[in-house]
Amino acid sequence: MPTTLLPPMQNTSLEAKSQEDIEIDSASLLKEVNNILVGLLESSHELGAKAESIKKKIGIMEEMWSSGKLNKQIQIQMKDLACALRDHNPGKADDIHKALMVDHVSCISTWMPGVKQLIYHCIARSELLAIDKE
């Protein structure tokens, strides 16, 4: 019996479209991401001395973003990461963090450790809240 070869399926979803083709307002995106991350940091008093180090790393991210050193894909993923943290979904934020580290390590390695600390702090906080509910 002969085998029929089918042409590859066309993926027409938005995710298939290159994120570089999407128009974004980089400045307002940065402001939103920065507000979320700094807001979480300021509400996390238990971080103590680590908070200042994390804040410096967020400042490095802001500087690189403002100077055009972070591409649209990184900017969009950072917005998704920040929104996941804001929406109490640190697991999703961690998945985005890992994807960013795989795809863009050279661009983000100077400041992402601070964001990672904030993510892991949010994970620990949510686990403690889950234990308290039991």
Closest CA to 84 of 103, 97, 74: 97
Q: What per-residue confidence (pLDDT) applies to 112?
A: 98
Q: What per-residue confidence (pLDDT) applies to 22?
A: 72
- pLDDT of the chain, 134 residues: tens digit per residue: 555 555 554 443 444 345 556 788 999 999 999 999 999 999 988 888 899 999 999 999 999 999 999 999 999 999 999 999 999 999 999 999 999 999 999 999 999 999 999 999 999 988 876 776 66
Task: Please state which of the four CATH numbers 3.40.50.300, 3.90.230.10, 3.40.50.2300, 1.20.940.10 is assigned to the domain occupying 25-133.
Answer: 1.20.940.10
Q: What per-residue confidence (pLDDT) applies to 62?
A: 98
Residue whose structure tokens are 């600390």? 117
Q: What per-residue confidence (pLDDT) applies to 41?
A: 94
Q: Per-domain residue ranges for the chain? A: 25-133
Phi first, then psi: give them for residue 119, nearest 5 degrees: -60, -50
Q: What per-residue confidence (pLDDT) applies to 79?
A: 98
Q: What per-residue confidence (pLDDT) applies to 10?
A: 47
Angle at CA of residue 54, ends 121 and 127, nearest 5°:
5
pTM of this prediction exceeds 0.85: no
Q: What per-residue confidence (pLDDT) applies to 1?
A: 54
User: What ranges in the chain are assigned the alpha helix state H?
Assistant: 26-42, 50-66, 72-86, 90-108, 112-133
Handedness of CA 111, 35, 70, 72 (dihedral sign): positive
